[in-house]
Structures are given as structure tokens and as C-alpha cells.
Amino acid sequence: MGAGFPLDRALAMCADLVSHPRLELAVKRLRREIQSGKSLAAALETERELFPPLYVSTVGAAERAGALEAGLANLATHLEERRDLQNQVQSILLYPALMSLVGALAVTVLLVFVIPRFVSILEGSGQSLPWATSLLLGVSHALTRFWWALAALAGLAFALVHGWLNTAEGRRRWDRWKLDAFVAGGFLRKLIAARFSRALGTLLQNGVPLPSALRLTAETLGNSVAAQAVRDAQVRVKEGESLAAALGRFEVFPAAALRMTAVGEESGRLEEMLFRTADLYEGEVRRNLRTLVGLIEPAMILVMGGVVGFVALAMIQAIFSINEVPL
């Protein structure tokens, strides 16, 4: 649209550029709705599975203000910033996750395939085995003989936990625990503050009223406790309370984010301060993740080294005990 194309033609070009079949069909349906006389927001309303309420409200406010092009540009910027942050978080956590997987597979191979080869030799020696070797053989025996029971127990535990988390109370307790966790809690609060500030700033920038913007922003936070806090703050804002004071009643957002919000309200530059808050906490999230990974990597190396060392020590002790058998 920035090049002067009408909306229906711009959608036709988008459909040609989209590689995802489902999204391509949705864009084509949007174009047909536009050609039938509907507004873009009304057309997006029919595709709620692909376009969340935040998209619809942002576009609707931009259309009412006669600034659809600017509104779409602001929405695109918001989505790009959020995607970039998610991609960076995932890429930073990928290496520790791979190390954990490789380490777990290595230990499993040792216990399931390597250790059992020594069982007959060790048990036929008639010598009492060291405690470390006995423990190792017990674990290996459990994995090789009762793997089906262990798998069933793991599946049952997963089903129970998954079912509990799907309940409103279970989800609330889990989300509250994550916010209060020793290390992860502070990181998660910063991530939520960044998401909240970026989404709310984008909605306000496109002319969405503050109460409606708060309701829509609550749906983007990914944490039921934080979402409920924002919804409760929305009620208080409608009653005349300031946004910073309303959010401050709930122990969810960092103090610095609340202070910056208060400054934005007092100076009449709330949108600008929200974007600054988002930039601040997105940067902190990236730095904290790098620091955390820098601590996790050597810790994982020590743990895996300890596990492999324990296995090696147990086997060496067993070999020495066999050599001590009198002839």
C-alpha cells in the first residue's frame, strides 16, 4: 500500500508471495471480503484463527483514523520485534538444550548397551561388588528389564500434569510459580514487561482507547496471572485510576517499568515511554539469557563429567574387585 496500490490488489500480491497454503487461502478470502465491500478489520474478523483480536483492533482503529497504511506499518513493526526476540531467545537456549539431549543419550547408551555386557562377568566372579557398581547395575537392570513400566509411569505422570495444567486453577498456580521462581521469575517478569509495553504501545499508537488496548494486550502475555492483573488494571483505569498505579497493585511488573509508565502518563507521552520500556527490557532479556547460558554451559559440563566419571569409577572398581578374587 505504501507504493500506492489499492487494498484488494495489495492482498492479491500478498497471496502470491505467501508460501504457506493455509495462509494463502486466508488472504484470498480476505480479498474477496474486501471486494464485497467489507472493511479490512471486518474481513480479518472472519479469520480469527489466523489473526488474533490485537490485529483486528489495530487495523480497525487505523481505518477509523484514515491511517491504514501507518497502522499496518506499526503492526508489522510490533510483530517483527516480537518475532526477533523469540528467535533470539530460542537460538540462545538451543545449545544448552542440545548438550542436555546428547548427554542424556550418552548415559542411556552406557546403561542400556554397555553396562549389561559386564553383568555376567561381574555377577559370576563371586566377589562382593563395590556400592557404586551395585548401584550402576541396579539402574541398568531397571532400564533394560522394566523400561516398559518406566515408560508407562512417565506417560501417566505426563498425562496427569498436562491435565492439571489445562485446568484454570492448575494453570494459575503454574504461572504464579513461574513468576516467583528464584532465577526464572525475574527473567519472565522482564519478558512479560517487554511484551506488554510493545503491544500496548502499538495499540495506543494506532488510536485504540486505553481500556480496550489493555484488554487486547492481556491476551498476548502468555501468562494467566499477568493477563488477569492487566484485566483487573483495566477495570481500575475505567474508574479513573492511573495505569501505573493500577498495575502496581499486582506483583507482576518490574518496578522500573511501572516508574517509566508513570512518567509517560504524567508527561503525556505514554506511547513513547512504553516503547522505551519495551526496548529496555528486550535488551535486558537478551543480556540475561546470554549470562545464564554462560553459567549453564560449564555447569552442564561438570554434571556430565561427573556422571561419566562415576560410571568409569564404578567399572574400574568392579574390574579391580574381580582381579582380587583368589585363585
Domain at 77-327, CATH from 1.20.81.30, 3.40.50.1860, 3.40.50.1110, 1.10.167.10: 1.20.81.30
DSSP sequence for 257-297: HHHHHHHHHHHT-HHHHHHHHHHHHHHHHHHHHHHHHHHHH
What is the arithmetic mean of pLDDT over 234-257?
Answer: 92
Cell of 52: 488474533
Give Cα 88 to chain centroid, integer Å: 12
Instruction: Tell me the residue type at 310.
Output: F
pLDDT digits (tens, 9 = 90+) for 10-22: 888 888 888 788 8
Q: Which residue has the higher pLDDT, 198 or 7?
A: 198
Report the distance separating Cα 42 and Cα 155, nearest Å: 44
Q: Report pLDDT for 327.
A: 46
Where along the chain do its domains lie? 7-76, 77-327
| DSSP character at residue 199 | H
What interhelical angle do 168-180 and 147-165 show, nearest 10?
100
- Neighbouring CB atoms inside 10 A of 44's CB total 23
Cell output for 238: 475505567
Q: What percent of the chain has pLDDT over 90?
A: 29
CA nearest to 164, candidates 155, 174, 150:
174
**Is 57 a residue whose pLDDT tops 80?**
yes
Over the stretch 21-55, which tens digit does the pLDDT of each residue have?
888 888 888 888 888 888 888 888 888 888 888 88
pLDDT band at residue 224, thresholds of 50, 70 and 90? very high
Looking at residues 218-232, what average pLDDT do you find?
Answer: 91
Cβ contact 165:174 at 8 Å? yes
Cβ(192)–Cβ(223) under 8 Å?
yes
Q: Long-range contacts: 120-125, Cβ < 8 Å, 24+?
A: 121/322, 122/318, 122/322, 125/321, 125/322, 125/325
C-alpha cell at 38: 467489507
C-alpha cell at 287: 543480556
Q: Which of 226, 224, 171, 172 is nearest to 196 (CA)?
A: 226
Q: How many CB atoms lie within 10 A of CB 275?
A: 22
CA distance 66 to 71: 9
Over residues 301-323, mean pLDDT: 80
Q: What is the pLDDT of residue 235?
A: 94
> Does 152 have pLDDT greater than 90?
yes
96 neighbors 300 (Cβ within 8 angstroms)? yes
d(CA 37, CA 33) in angstroms, rounded, equals 7
